[in-house]
């Protein structure tokens, strides 16, 4: 399909220009730029001299070397790489929002403030919590903010000894790091055989120094912590607080109210569950929702609505303060609001129904061909395979992931969670059809069959632009600029 590809520098022809500026160059020369001489360039930059067509083709071609959700199925576990409706992009780009500035006075920001207010109200209604802050910029930032609230709670109560947070080994990796950054000590808790937290193990770990627990629910092995209320009650007996990592909320949204499970603070990943495309390092939003115990300390400003007017209130002296400039990542919040309104009460629960159904469908069809830990139960929104069977036959999870690339798929998350040997974590999300899932499952089964016949896939992928990399060198010593090969 590709003709012999020349790099843009190799296409350069001296004197060729993409654009001819039509202004009067003599006139331009009379304008002296206010840049100090020392910083002015003496020689022209070494840029490829190419036509506009060359440039357009170059960048368009590069864009095809990447894989994206718009091209195909992206089962990257834990990341919720789902299709996000384009309408939300359009709405978040409306000029009234796009051209507003967060420093505008409240009188002319009423529309934007209304969106903040209404989104907070919607998230409170969906989760059952009495209070919300939209400020955190991502999931991990929400964790950090929630932990600062926990810290403040203990400070105000004079609980000076409470400096430890219990984190099960089925938690997301950001949990222990947020905990450390917030100044707590992490106490790991091993999951039971069934991949869940056991109350007897927790009893042995908890003590007077326990400031709280951070639970991911559903946890990173795709299972629901069904004893969460009992766990929360035990933590509360020690005046500890319960943090719930709610990044996997697409598995449970609309089914029940997290607030009723004894949780004190929970973040949501709007860039997973609520419509902002996730990945590529773009902006996110990790709002937190809190119980009455923690609401007095939420970040300022609070967005208020009185007598038909929206306003910002900075007066709360007990607040942990501001944790983000202005009020949060507005574009992401807008998309989430549009998404919630477009689904409404009637359809919001279909997110969780379909994401769980899709994951269980994958699990059911794959379980004969792969070892699946904890398969005795249904999974939530993701299923996890282990490579133990394929190991005996001479292959590995890494090789299978690379083989999937040759079959046109982005691989699932691999070697995470750590508690499953050679894990492959598949999150199909709610937006994929049965046909897409079947094609993907068939591809995985075909790989397993070939491994049985003696193929190891040690040199896959072969059919893509970049074949097998030395990943450590690629990460540590990346070559990021054009270097002419000296032959
Ligand atoms: C993605 C994720 C996070 C972190 O969210 P970021 O927005 O990437 O900081 C935390 N916990 C879980 C379970 C996640 O899946």
Q: Report residue 113 as tokens.
A: 């403030």
**Closest residue by Cα to residue 81 from 381, 339, 421:** 381
Residues at CB less than 6 angstroms from ligand 1: 78, 138-140, 172, 174, 216, 245, 247-248, 269, 284, 286
Confidence at 346, pLDDT banded by 50, 70, 90: very high
- Residue 329 scores a pLDDT above 70: yes
Cα 163 from Cα 301, distance rounded (Å): 28
pLDDT tens by residue, 169-207: 988 889 999 999 999 999 999 998 888 999 999 999 999
22 alpha carbon, distance to own chain's centre: 46
Residue 221 CA, ligand 1 centroid: distance in Å: 14
Which of the listed residues 82, 137, 139 should we mutate to test ligand 1's pocket, taking the one with most ligand atoms within 8 A of CB?
A: 139
Q: What are the residue boundaries of the structural domains of the chain, listed by start?
A: 2-65, 100-347, 350-474
Average pLDDT over residues 160-167: 97
Is residue 221 very low, low, confident or very high in pLDDT (cuts 50, 70, 90)?
A: confident
* pLDDT tens column, 224-261: 999 999 999 999 999 999 999 999 999 999 998 999 99
- Is there a shared CATH topology between the 100-347 domain and the 350-474 domain? no
Give residue 140 CA to ligand 1 midpoint distance, Å. 6
Q: Ligand 1, closest atom to CA 80?
A: 15
Query: How many Å apart are CA 382 and CA 75, to the nearest integer?
Result: 9
φ, ψ dihedrals at 216, nearest 5°: -100, 120
Residues 6 or more apart from 257 whose CB is under 8 A from it?
Answer: 127, 128
- Report which of residues 188 and 3 the model is more confident about: 188
* Mutational test site, ligand 1, from 78, 278, 380, max ligand atoms within 8 Å of CB: 78
Q: 302: burial class by Cβ within 10 Å (0-12, 13-18, 19+)? A: middle
Asked if the model's pLDDT at residue 484 lies above 70, the reply is no
Q: Look at ligand 1, atom 2, and give the residue with the nearest C-alpha.
A: 247
The minimum-distance atom of ligand 1 relative to the CA of 216 is 13
210-216 and 164-168: which strand pairing?
A: parallel
Please, what sign has the CA dihedral across residues 418, 419, 422, 427?
A: negative
User: In angstroms, what is the span from residue 365 Cα to ligand 1's centroid?
Assistant: 28
pLDDT at 4: 61
Among the atoms of ligand 1, which is closest to the Cα of residue 286?
A: 7
Position 374 scores a pLDDT of: 82
Structure token pair of residue 364: 């059911």
Q: Which atom of ligand 1 is nearest to the CA of 269?
A: 7
284 CA from centroid of ligand 1 (Å): 10
Residue 124 has pLDDT above 60, yes or no: yes
* Distance of alpha carbon 413 from alpha carbon 3, whole angstroms: 33
In 3D, which of 271, 265, 272, 283 has the Cα closest to residue 320?
Answer: 265
Q: What is the pLDDT of residue 121?
A: 98
Instruction: Give dist(CA 101, CA 91) in Å, integer.
Output: 17
Bridge partner residues of 194 (DSSP): none
| Smallest CA separation from ligand 1 atom 12, residue | 247
What is the average per-residue pLDDT within 416-438?
95
The pLDDT of residue 485 is 61
Topology classification of domain 350-474: 3.90.1150
The Cα–Cα gap between 362 and 367 comes to 8
Higher-confidence residue of 69 and 282: namely 69
Which of 77, 170, 172 has most ligand 1 atoms within 8 Å of CB, for mutation?
172
For residue 396, which of 421, 375, 433, 417 has the smallest C-alpha distance?
Answer: 421
Torsional class of 287: left (φ above 0), alpha (ψ -120 to 50), beta (otherwise)? beta
What is the rounded CA–CA span in Å between residue 442 and residue 426? 14
Among 85-89, 350-354, 375-379, which range has the highest average pLDDT?
A: 350-354
Angle at the Cα of 383 from the Cα atoms of 379 and 389, rounded to 5 degrees:
120
216 CA distance to ligand 1 centroid (A)? Answer: 10
* Cα–Cα distance measured from residue 142 to residue 286, given in angstroms and rounded to the nearest whole number: 5
Distance between Cα 141 and ligand 1 center (Å)? 9
Pocket-testing residue among 245, 276, 284, ligand 1, by greatest number of atoms within 8 A of Cβ? 245
Q: Return the CATH number of the domain spanning residue range 100-347.
A: 3.40.640.10
Distance from the alpha carbon of residue 302 to the mean position of ligand 1, in angstroms: 25
Going from the Cα of 424 to the center of ligand 1, the distance in angstroms, rounded, reads 18
Residues of the chain with pLDDT > 90: what percent?
75
Residue whose CA is at the smallest distance from ligand 1 atom 5: 139
Total residues belonging to the chain: 487
Statement: residue 42 has pLDDT above 90: no
Q: How far is the CA of 81 from the centre of ligand 1 (A)?
A: 12
**Model pLDDT, residue 23:** 60
Instruction: Pick the residue whose CA is nearest to atom 4 on ligand 1.
Output: 139
CA 334 from chain center: how many Å? 17
Q: What is the dihedral of CA 436, 442, 443, 445, to 10 degrees?
A: 150
Q: Is the pLDDT at 134 greater than 60, yes or no?
A: yes
What number is the average pLDDT over the span 401-409?
96
User: Looking at ligand 1, which atom is closest to the CA of residue 141?
Assistant: 9
CA–CA distances in Å: residue 96 to residues 91, 100, 109, 112, 130: 10, 6, 10, 9, 30
Q: How confident is the model at residue 487 (pLDDT cuts 50, 70, 90)?
A: very low
Bond into 461 cis (ω within 30): yes
SS (H, E, C) the chain: CCCCCCCCCCCCCCCCCCCCCCCCHHHHHCCCCCCCHHHCCCCCCCCCCCCHHHHHHHHHHHHHCCCCCCCCCCCECCCCCCCCCHHHHHHHCCHHHHCCCCCCCHHHCHHHHHHHHHHHHHHHHHHCCCEEECCCCCHHHHHHHHHHHHHHHHHHHCCCCCCEEEEECCCCCHHHHHHHHCCCEEEEECCCCCCCCCHHHHHHHCCCCEEEEEEECCCCCCCCCCCHHHHHHHHHHCCCEEEEECCCHHHCCCCCCHHHHCCCEEECCHHHHCCCCCCCCCCCCCCEEECCCCHHHCCCCEEEEECCEEEEECCCCCCCCCCCCCCCCHHHHHHHHHHHHHHHHHHHHHHHHHHHHHHHHHHHHHCCCCECCCCCCCCCCCEEEECHHHHHCCCCHHHHHHHHHHCCCCCCEECCCCCCCCCEEECCCCCCCHHHHHHHHHHHHHHHHHHHCCCCCCCCCCCCCCCCCCHHHHHHCCCCCCCCCCC
* Smallest CA separation from ligand 1 atom 6, residue: 139
Q: Cα of 269 to ligand 1 centre, how many Å?
A: 7
Average model confidence (pLDDT) across the chain: 92
Lowest mean pLDDT among 266-275, 416-425, 445-454, 478-487: 478-487
Cβ pair 217, 260 in contact under 8 A? no
Give the residue from 313, 326, 331, 349 showing the smallest Cα distance to 115: 331
């Amino acid at each position: 399909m590709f003709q012999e590809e020349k790099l843009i520098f190799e296409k350069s022809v001296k004197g060729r220009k993409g654009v001819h500026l039509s202004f009067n160059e003599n006139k331009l020369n009379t304008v002296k730029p206010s840049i100090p001489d020392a910083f002015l360039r003496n020689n022209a930059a070494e840029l490829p001299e190419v036509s506009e067509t060359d440039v357009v083709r170059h960048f368009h071609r590069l864009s095809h070397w990447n894989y994206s959700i718009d091209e195909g199925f992206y089962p990257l576990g834990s990341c919720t790489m789902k299709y996000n409706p384009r309408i939300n992009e359009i709405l978040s780009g409306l000029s009234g929002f796009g051209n507003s500035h967060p420093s505008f006075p409240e009188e002319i920001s009423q529309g934007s403030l209304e969106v903040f207010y209404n989104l907070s109200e919607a998230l409170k209604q969906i989760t059952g919590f009495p209070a919300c802050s939209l400020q955190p910029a991502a999931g991990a930032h929400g964790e950090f903010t929630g932990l600062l609230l926990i810290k403040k709670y203990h400070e105000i109560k004079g609980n000076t000894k409470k400096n430890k947070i219990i984190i099960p080994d089925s938690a997301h990796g950001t949990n222990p790091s947020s905990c450390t950054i917030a100044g707590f000590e992490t106490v790991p808790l091993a999951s039971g055989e069934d991949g869940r937290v056991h109350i007897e193990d927790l009893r042995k770990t908890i003590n007077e120094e326990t400031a709280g627990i951070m639970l991911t629910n559903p946890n990173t092995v795709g299972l629901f912590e069904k004893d969460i209320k009992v766990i929360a009650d035990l933590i509360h007996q020690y005046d500890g607080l319960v943090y719930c990592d709610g990044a996997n909320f697409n598995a449970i949204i609309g089914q029940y109210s997290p607030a009723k499970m004894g949780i004190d603070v929970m973040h949501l990943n709007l860039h997973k569950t609520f419509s902002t495309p996730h990945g590529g390092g773009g902006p996110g939003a990790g709002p937190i929702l809190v119980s009455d115990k923690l609401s007095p300390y939420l970040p300022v400003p609070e967005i208020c609505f009185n007598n038909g007017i929206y306003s910002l209130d900075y007066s709360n002296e007990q607040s942990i303060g501001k944790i983000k400039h202005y009020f949060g990542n507005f574009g992401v919040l807008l998309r989430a609001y549009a998404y919630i309104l477009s689904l409404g009460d009637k359809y919001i629960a279909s997110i969780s129904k379909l994401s769980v159904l899709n994951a269980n469908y994958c699990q059911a069809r794959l379980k004969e061909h792969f070892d699946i830990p904890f398969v005795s139960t249904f999974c939530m929104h993701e299923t996890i395979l282990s490579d133990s069977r394929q190991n005996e036959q001479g292959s590995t999870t890494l090789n299978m992931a690379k083989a999937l690339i040759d079959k046109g798929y982005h691989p699932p998350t691999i070697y995470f969670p750590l508690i499953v040997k050679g894990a492959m974590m598949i999150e199909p999300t709610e937006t994929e059809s049965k046909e897409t899932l079947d094609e993907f499952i068939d591809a995985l089964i075909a790989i397993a069959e070939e491994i049985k016949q003696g193929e190891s896939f040690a040199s896959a992928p072969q059919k893509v632009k970049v074949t097998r990399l030395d990943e450590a060198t690629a990460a540590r010593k990346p070559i990021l600029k054009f270097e002419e090969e000296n032959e």
